[in-house]
Amino acid sequence: MPAGLSILLASSNSGKVREYRELAGDANIEIELLPGFGEIPQFPEDAPTFAENAAGKAEYYSRHTSRVLLADDSGLVVPALGGAPGVHSARYAGPNADDSDRVRKLLHEMEIFEEDRRRAKFVCVTAIARRGRAFIITSDSADGLLAKEPRGAGGFGYDPIFFLPEIGKTFAEASREAKNQLSHRGKAFRKALAYLADPASLAWIE
């Protein structure tokens, strides 16, 4: 890992940057929110795949700084709904909806399905870029079931209804340590950290 590496996160979400700092663990890196993120014209994230959105977002926002930048795209994929909400997870209940609105809409659409049709998968793609060029793109997922009602007070987004049979809890009920170990974002980011530990990465970030 390059000594003292500093990475900017293309987000204004304080919960997300806290989660990434926890995921970084003992790695010798510093993660901060991209200054002025809210003042930069928003990247549209209108591509049909998580990978295209993550890479496009990383390349776009990295042009607004000289530092290494991290962006991700993640969402919930429900096979019974044809893959929805998918890449539209954050906008599933409309542009002005909050997390509870999105959860409520999804639960309503899942009312007709029994447990064997309530399978769901969280997907995350992370992209690390500098000066308009992405040089690390990783992805991973977490498999679970959709609970029939929200459970737990932790996490954010769809966490209160994403149930993991292996621990018998939703992401919102799980400890931070358990969630970070099992989550789609944790798995994808640990892959990115492994690439950053490779000395060959220095050619891109210096």
CA distance 13 to 79: 28
Number of domains in the chain: 1
- What pLDDT is recorded for position 206? 58
26 is catalytic: no
Spatial distance between the Cα atoms of 115 and 76, rounded to a whole number of angstroms = 17
Distance, C-alpha 157 to centroid of its chain: 10
**pTM (predicted TM-score):** 0.91
Mean pLDDT of 154-181: 94
Cα–Cα distance measured from residue 186 to residue 194, given in angstroms and rounded to the nearest whole number: 12
Q: Which of 72, 73, 140, 159 is catalytic?
A: 73
Per-residue DSSP letters for 27-90?
SSEEEEEPTTGGGSPPP---SSSHHHHHHHHHHHHHTT-SSEEEEEEEEEE-GGGTT-BGGGGG
Task: Find, among 125, 118, 179, 114, the residue nearest to 153 by Cα.
Answer: 179
* Residue 2: cis peptide before it, omega within 30 degrees of 0: no
Query: On the CB side of 161, how many CA atoms lie within 13 Å of its CA?
Result: 23
Residues 205 and 2 sit within 8 Å (Cβ to Cβ):
yes
Q: What is the pLDDT of residues 128-152, one digit of tens each?
A: 999 999 999 999 999 999 999 999 9
Q: What CATH number did the domain enclosing 168 receive?
A: 3.90.950.10
40: its two tokens: 């930069």
Q: Residue 85 belongs to what domain range? A: 5-205
Of the listed ranges 14-28, 95-109, 180-194, the one predicted with least confidence = 14-28
Query: Given the DSSP bridges, would you call strands 5-9 and 29-33 parallel, antiparallel or unpaired?
Result: parallel
Cα gap 99→140, rounded to integer Å: 23
pLDDT tens figures, 120-134: 999 999 999 999 999
pLDDT at 156: 87
Of 3-17, 90-104, 123-137, 159-173, where does mean pLDDT reach its minimum? 3-17
Q: Is the per-residue pLDDT at 2 higher than 80?
A: no
Task: Measure the CA–CA gap between 201 and 1, rounded to whole angstroms.
Answer: 9
So what's the pLDDT on residue 12? 86
171 by Cβ neighbours in 10 Å (0-12 / 13-18 / 19+) ranks as buried
Mean pLDDT of the chain: 92
Report which of residues 28 and 49 the model is more confident about.
49
> Which tens digit of pLDDT belongs to each residue from 59-113?
999 999 999 999 999 999 999 999 999 999 999 999 899 999 999 999 999 999 9
Share of the chain above pLDDT 90, in %: 79
3 pLDDT higher than 70: no
